[in-house]
Amino acid sequence: MKVLSVENDEEFTMGDQPEQSEKALTPKAVENPFLRNLNDIKPSSYWEKAGAETFKTFSADLVDQGIMPPLDKSDVLGTMAKAAEAQVGKSASIPGDHGASSGSLASMVAKFADNSITLNANIRDLVTDLTRDHKWQLSEYELGDPVPPGALLVSDFERPVGGRNMGIVDSTGANAIFDTKQGDVIKAPIQNSRPPFTWVLTPPKDS
């Protein structure tokens, strides 16, 4: 399996999408001590600012279901798989994205597992942040390759016409979880992805 790195910082602007009504999660108080840092978010980018409040609610909803941020970084992928599965049937679109990018859910799930990751619905920028700043590994993927639960699958760095370009592997390793253009989170067999996934992202092995 070939391992690649992303060095291109070229900005990619999402195409115009019709606005979708966001199904906001019911706000819940964040009282768990594991989540104290969520109340101290200091947004430093467009997506961080746009998604700060949504991320707090997203995280509180997960904690309400008994899913906690990992205490050990070795459980980042396991936490990501659980977090993604808990969102199936809900909405996870960052305000301002309107469901245009599957990076909304992927970046919130990754940030829940590692709060140092920046929210970013722009796929190219998210992949660059993960590989360059967080030392995640970007490898070529072919259908049938074993992938760990919680890994991020990517079909393209730019939004494909009529398809999704990033999904999160579920706990079985057979399905991908992603948010649709309507902002709803669904789960579907990896082999049914159109366009097919061609890359897989995983955190550093020593994390």
Residue 4: inside a domain: no
Structural domain of 89: 30-202
How distant, in Å, are the alpha carbons of 24, 31, 103, 167, 177 from that of 85? 18, 23, 16, 12, 7
Residue 14: inside a domain: no
Tens-place pLDDT, residues 78-135 = 999 999 999 998 877 666 555 556 788 899 999 999 999 988 888 888 898 999 999 9
Residue 7: inside a domain: no
Q: Could you tell me the pTM of the whole model?
A: 0.74
**Does pLDDT of 34 surpass 80?**
no
Residue 148: inside a domain: yes
Residue 62: inside a domain: yes
For tokens 């994205």, the residue is 97
Instruction: Please check whether residue 163 is in contact with residue 176, taking contact to mean a CB–CB distance below 8 angstroms.
Output: no
Residue 165: inside a domain: yes
**Does pLDDT of 8 surpass 90?**
no
Please report the DSSP string for 79-94 in residue order.
HHHHHHHHTTTSB-PP
Residue 135: inside a domain: yes
As a residue count, the chain comes to: 207
Domain count, the chain: 1
